[in-house]
Amino acid sequence: MSKKEESAERLEGSNPSVMTSVNEASNPSWFTPLRLLIIFCVIHLINYMDRGAMASNGVNGHRTICTPDGTCTPGSGIQGQFNLSNFEDGVLSSAFMVGLLLACPIFASLAKRANPFRLIGVGLSVWTVAVVGCGFSVNFWSIAVCRMIVGVGEASFISLAAPFIDDNAPVEKKAGWLGIFYMCIPTGYAIGYLYGGFVGQHFGWRYAFWGEAILMVSFAVLGFIIKPLKLKGFAPPETTNAPIPVDATASSVKDDLQAKVGVSPKDFQEAENSSNSVLSEVLRFLKDMKALLVNMVFVVNVLGYVAYNFVMGAYSYWGPKAGYSIYQMKNADMIFGGITVVGGIVGSLAGGYILDCLNNTISNAFKLLSTAILIGAAFFFGSFCFKSMYGFLVLFSIGEVLAFSIQGPVNFICLHCVTPNLRPLSMAISTVSIHIFGDVPSAPLVGILQDHINNWRTTSLILTGFLVPAAIIWFIGVFLHSEDKSNEDCEKQVVPNRPTAGSALEAEKVQQTNKASAEA
């Protein structure tokens, strides 16, 4: 045996965690932190490109339109081919959201039992297959089901990507890296509009989905074949295949039964696995949920995020229509799309960078959130008071930059106000909450308000007022006792149903002592 092997053996016997560190150092992951950020940003872009393509005229299309004189314009895209009503067309968007919201908590919980990086690979594979299915759909129900499964596939990435980025980002750039990641949302939407319009018009809407699948499949494969970076708070990849140690009592019972009855170790393993019931999983999930709901920093952060998303969701849906009505914008879609892309990129990058410069703490993040949204609300309010379209565009653009600047800080709080093993669930519940209570109900509620008022300027001013509660809620967060828990569980990695290595060594010592006593 070489000196290197003897040294490694001594390390393993004295401290298994040290041996794990040595193995990781000698066999590092292909992923570096920067590569991880770049690849996750590309995946995020493709996810939101799909959403933008789904809403584009080239893919979504329109129904056959007939004038009173009998002249008909043939339909196009999904709506034209399947002759969908506006309601059915809207259901396709809701189907995606249903799959996303149902699967987010599930993937977050599974991260405690399965390798989180591999779960991302599973989710991206499901996403890819479902997108291919969208291209092969034959009627409304087939594409609705496929869209729901697309949401399921995206859920794993939404829940787990941000914790990986936060883990591997330099300490002084954590908020900035999160800002870069979330900048991909408006950028992906804009690329999707252009991509869907071009491919849909030149090749047909089905090819738009197949093209997305081709772009994503390589990243799905990476999730399975490349050694992942370790996610703080969860078992490293090597431990998932490690032999399961047992305590001394269980070991002696097994030895006796194997000698007298002939029961194999495999039978014992199957018996142990069968004890993991669905009830235990539910109880574990409820315990984690309780830990989140009693965390006032998390609750206040999400409540402010819900109020914020209520307004921004309605802006994205009704903004072009309001702009056309108030200012007679001929290209309202392009104008609002351009403002959103530029504001999203500049704001997301600026918000993360400023928080890092201020010292990225939870308290400073709350200060930045409340200040940016309060000032942004003032610019939004002032923009809708302008009679000039150009004055409106200038003030509204500044408001968009300020509004999007919260993306890095708000997700920084979600990741740092909880222990590492709760971060996937924190991101999942945050995502579910801001959609269920934010942008999903805001569009129809604003539509009802407009039906009663019949004045888009007044409706827009009332909607903008809901940003003030968001600023107030986040301002309350400044005075909460905020403790950064991101490093709290570093030494206690989650390895479900596996006793610690220390207990295994103790068991071995007890067995050796018993054996020596028996021989004596």
- Give the tens place of pLDDT for each residue, 448-484: 888 888 898 999 999 999 999 999 999 999 999 888 8
pLDDT of 29 reads 61
pLDDT of 128 reads 95
pLDDT of 517 reads 54
Residues 10 and 382: their CA atoms lie apart, in Å, by 70
Q: Residue 327: left (phi > 0), alpha (psi -120 to 50), or beta?
A: alpha
pLDDT of 11 reads 43
Who has greater pLDDT, 279 or 151? 151
Instruction: Using the predicted structure, report yes or no on whether residue 391 has a pLDDT greater than 60.
Output: yes
Please compute the mean of the pLDDT values over residues 384-392 and round it to a whole number: 89
Pair of tokens at residue 210: 């197949």
pLDDT of 369 reads 96
Residues 409 and 214: their CA atoms lie apart, in Å, by 33
Q: Which domains does the chain have, with CATH numbers?
A: 30-64+73-231 (1.20.1250.20), 285-489 (1.20.1250.20)
Residues 283 and 233: their CA atoms lie apart, in Å, by 19
User: In this predicted model, what pLDDT tens digit does every residue of 46-60 receive, in sequence order?
Assistant: 998 998 888 777 787
Instruction: Using the predicted structure, report yes or no on whether residue 148 has a pLDDT greater than 90.
Output: yes
Residues 376 and 212: their CA atoms lie apart, in Å, by 35
Instruction: Using the predicted structure, report yes or no on whether residue 254 has a pLDDT greater than 80.
Output: no
CA distances from 72 to 59, 69, 77, 175 (A): 20, 9, 16, 53
Residues 113 and 423: their CA atoms lie apart, in Å, by 15
Instruction: Using the predicted structure, report yes or no on whether residue 434 has a pLDDT greater than 80.
Output: yes
Instruction: Using the predicted structure, report yes or no on whether residue 491 has a pLDDT greater than 70.
Output: no
Burial classification of residue 200, based on how many CB atoms lie within 10 Å of its CB (0-12 exposed, 13-18 middle, 19 or more buried) = buried
Who has greater pLDDT, 445 or 300? 300
Please compute the mean of the pLDDT values over residues 237-260 and round it to a whole number: 44
Instruction: Using the predicted structure, report yes or no on whether residue 318 has a pLDDT greater than 90.
Output: no
pLDDT band at 387 (very low <50, low <70, confident <90, very high): confident
Query: What are the φ and ψ backbone dihedral angles of 253, each rounded to 5 degrees?
Result: -65, -45
Contact 420, 163 (CB under 8 A): yes
Number of neighbouring beta carbons within 10 Å of residue 304: 27
Instruction: Using the predicted structure, report yes or no on whether residue 363 has a pLDDT greater than 60.
Output: yes
pLDDT of 266 reads 54
> Mean of the per-residue pLDDT values for the chain?
79
Of the ranges 36-50, 372-386, 430-444, which one carries the lowest mean pLDDT score? 430-444
User: In this predicted model, what pLDDT tens digit does every residue of 209-218 receive, in sequence order?
Assistant: 999 999 999 9
Contact 431, 104 (CB under 8 A): yes
pTM over the 0.85 mark? no
For residue 294, what are the contacts with CB-CB under 8 A and spacing of at least 6?
Answer: none
pLDDT of 497 reads 42
Please compute the mean of the pLDDT values over residues 61-82 and round it to a whole number: 75
